[in-house]
Structures are given as structure tokens and as C-alpha cells.
């Protein structure tokens, strides 16, 4: 279920059937693409109290794409004389906020906070000591998810040196093998396989521009990167994907001197790892889930919030928030596969998408 205004006859409380400015603001924001992308439903607790359970999910807010972990939103103490309507919303820095309304005989919903989208209105009865399901009205406006640029890596796309697939990726290698499109399958219409050579240290990479170190953009220009990848053989290799100053760098915790990227380096960890890096100093977290599984598909989102913090999500679930070593050096974007044994290793890429951060006025 999503945005609703109940009929008065079907509402638990008559004022839930009201049409408020926050409702209009949420719908207007959706015309600009802002709203809920997934999850973020608000529900009463199994044993109701003065909190509301907010499900994990993702939103688009003013051109940013914050993820949210599941959490509880605390509703303030009820008035002893009148009811009120509170508003639960999320903002472009990944914060869930409860805005308390004003207690009144005929309460109205408070204004939607700036740079936010609504999730739910909560009717707080006079002297209430818990919030039941009938007090929560869903105000999520679900919006369509789109990318500013994307590549499905379908087999009909062009494959020539320096002009790979629909985004015309550059390709470089250290004695690499021959990359090739794979036969598509259900839910994976296009797959590009990076292939290393057969000697330790051989690698292959795709990236923007003609060189792995081409400075293409400032990290602050990025709002989100999404990648869907699979590792056919998970031993004796290094895999990198994301933003980096040097996409040819296979060292653990590094993709040149700066970046925000996902890596799998079995010699260092059996898990995916997430790194932000600036000036040669990294903040790296190992995934808390299961070890990497050969042949499994993994969706990674690398999200820059409006305040400069970076989020990493795996398979649509927030994994880590990084507030340190935020990259500022101009970077490239791409994928790297390197073997550290006498056998070729591969990286399969099914999808890449990017959204640029809101730019404001580009001229004076």
C-alpha cells in the first residue's frame, strides 16, 4: 500500500480524512521524481507503544538517493487535552524525522520539513500511551527509479577497443584476455565478461575515457552508482568496482589515491569490502553477511548523500555509512579483474547505472 487519504466513513478518526498541505507537497515532489523507491512502510509495533516501526528502504529526495536501515520512530508524549497529527518523513541525508503537530480539537498535519519526503501521518489520541495500526496513515508516494546513464551490456552493443558497449567504455589491460558478451539469461539480458590473462598480475578493466587514470569527474558530482556483478571463480583474484582515481589498482583497500568502491580480494577477506579513500588513506568495512559465493549475482549501490557522507548497499539493503576519507580528488569509474595465479579469472557485469548530483545553475 502507498499514499492514501481515507474516506471519512472508513477512517478511525475523522481528521485522518483531511487533505493537508503536506499531502500536496508530497505529491508535487513526486512530479520532480522525489518519493519512495522501495520499502519505508510505517507500522505499529507488535506490542504497541509510542514508537512506529519504519521498514528499511530507499528514497529519492531532491536528486539524492539515501538508503535507510529499519528503525523505530519515537512519537512524543500525547497531550492530555487534545489530539494531534504527527508526520514521519525522511530527508536527503538519510535521516528519519518525526515532526509533531499541534494538539487541537481539530488537529492538522504539520508542514513537511525541507528537503524531505513524507512516509506517514500518525494520529495521536488525547492521553494516548501507544500507537495502534489504525492511527497510522500511509503517505508514501512511490516513484519510478531512473538513471541518468545506464548500460545493460546487451550482446548487440558495440565491442571494439576503447568503445565497449552502449556507454562506450574505454578498455585497458595488463596482458588481459579477450573480453566477450555472454549469452543472456532470464533477468540478465546482457552480460559482459572481463577476462584476465593466465599469469599472475594479468588484469583487464573497463572505465570512462581512454585510460584507467583519466580524471573524469569530481566525486561530489555523483549522487548514485549501481552495479550488478557476479564472480564465476572466487579464489586467487582481485575484483574492484566503482569510483577510483586509478581503476587499474588491484591492491586491497585501494583504487588509486581516492575513490568510493566495492572490492573482493580473497587473499584479504572472503567477503565483499566497501571503501572510501582520499589522499591515499582509506576507510574500509568488510561485509557482515555471508562470504562471497561463486556465480551469485550481487547488486551494489554506492550513494553520496547531500552532506558528503557515502552509503554502500548490497542487494538493496544498507550495509555501511562512511563519514571519513570522503573522496574529493577527481576520479574515474569502472571495473577491474586481476588474477594472482597462473590461470585466467573473470568478472561478469550485468548492469551499470549512474545518477549525477543536482548541479544547480551551471552558468553565471
Spatial contact of 242 and 228, defined as CB atoms under 8 Å apart: no
pTM score: 0.95
Backbone angles phi, psi at 346, to 5 degrees: -130, 155
* Domain assignment of residue 190, yes or no: yes
Domain boundary residue among 138, 159, 194?
138
Cα–Cα dist 123/241, whole Å: 46
pLDDT along the chain (364 residues), means of 10: 90 95 97 97 98 98 98 98 98 98 98 98 98 98 96 85 89 94 89 97 96 96 98 96 98 97 97 98 97 97 98 98 98 98 97 92 63
- Give pLDDT, residue 157: 79
Domain boundary residue among 138, 168, 199?
138
In tens, the pLDDT along 303-318 reads: 999 999 999 999 999 9
CATH of the domain at 132: 2.60.40
- Give pLDDT, residue 83: 98
* Domain assignment of residue 361, yes or no: no
Q: Do 215 and 261 sit in the same domain of this protein?
A: yes
* Domain assignment of residue 1, yes or no: no
Q: Do 161 and 55 sit in the same domain of this protein?
A: no
* Domain assignment of residue 2, yes or no: no
Q: Do 19 and 48 sit in the same domain of this protein?
A: yes
Backbone angles phi, psi at 341, to 5 degrees: -145, 180
- Enclosing domain of residue 26: 8-138
* Domain assignment of residue 265, yes or no: yes
- Give pLDDT, residue 363: 64
Q: How many domains does the chain have?
A: 2
Please give the torsion angle defined by the CA atoms of residues 35, 216, 268 and 316, in that order, rounded to the nearest 10 degrees. 10
- Give pLDDT, residue 361: 64
Amino acid at each position: 500500500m502507498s499514499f492514501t487519504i481515507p474516506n471519512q466513513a472508513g477512517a478511525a478518526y475523522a481528521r485522518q480524512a483531511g487533505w493537508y498541505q503536506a499531502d500536496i507537497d508530497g505529491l508535487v515532489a513526486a512530479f520532480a521524481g522525489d518519493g519512495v523507491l522501495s520499502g519505508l512502510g510505517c507500522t505499529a509495533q507488535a506490542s504497541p507503544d509510542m514508537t512506529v516501526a519504519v521498514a528499511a528502504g530507499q528514497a529519492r529526495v531532491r536528486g539524492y538517493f539515501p538508503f535507510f536501515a529499519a528503525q523505530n520512530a519515537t512519537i512524543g508524549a500525547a497531550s492530555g487535552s487534545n489530539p494531534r497529527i504527527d508526520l514521519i518523513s525522511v530527508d536527503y541525508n538519510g535521516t528519519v524525522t518525526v515532526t509533531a503537530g499541534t494538539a487541537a480539537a481539530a488537529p492538522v498535519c504539520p508542514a513537511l520539513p525541507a528537503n524531505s519526503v513524507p512516509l506517514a501521518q500518525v494520529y495521536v489520541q488525547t492521553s494516548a500511551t501507544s500507537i495502534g495500526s489504525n492511527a497510522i496513515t500511509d503517505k508514501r508516494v512511490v516513484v519510478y527509479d531512473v538513471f541518468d546513464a545506464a548500460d545493460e551490456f546487451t550482446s548487440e552493443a558495440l565491442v571494439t577497443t576503447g568503445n565497449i558497449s552502449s556507454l562506450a567504455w574505454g578498455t585497458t589491460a595488463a596482458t588481459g584476455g579477450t573480453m566477450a558478451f555472454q549469452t543472456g539469461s532470464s533477468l540478465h539480458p546482457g552480460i559482459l565478461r572481463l577476462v584476465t590473462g593466465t599469469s599472475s598480475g594479468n588484469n583487464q578493466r573497463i572505465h570512462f575515457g581512454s585510460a584507467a587514470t583519466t580524471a573524469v569527474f569530481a566525486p561530489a558530482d555523483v549522487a548514485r552508482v549501481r552495479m550488478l556483478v557476479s564472480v564465476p571463480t572466487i579464489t586467487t583474484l582481485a575484483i574492484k568496482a566503482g569510483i577510483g582515481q586509478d581503476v587499474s589498482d588491484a591492491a586491497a583497500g585501494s583504487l588509486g589515491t581516492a575513490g568510493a568502491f566495492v572490492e573482493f580480494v580473497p587473499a584479504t577477506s572472503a567477503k565483499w569490502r566497501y571503501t572510501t579513500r582520499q589522499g591515499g588513506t582509506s576507510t574500509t568495512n568488510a561485509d557482515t553477511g555471508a562470504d562471497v559465493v561463486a556465480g551469485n549475482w550481487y547488486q551494489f549501490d554506492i550513494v553520496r548523500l547531500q552532506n558528503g557522507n557515502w552509503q554502500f548497499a548490497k542487494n538493496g539493503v544498507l550495509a555501511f555509512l562512511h563519514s571519513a576519507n570522503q573522496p574529493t580528488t577527481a576520479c574515474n569509474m569502472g571495473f577491474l579483474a586481476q588474477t594472482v595465479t597462473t590461470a585466467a579469472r573473470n568478472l561478469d557485469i550485468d548492469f551499470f547505472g549512474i545518477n549525477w548530483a543536482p548541479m544547480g545553475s551551471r552558468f553565471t
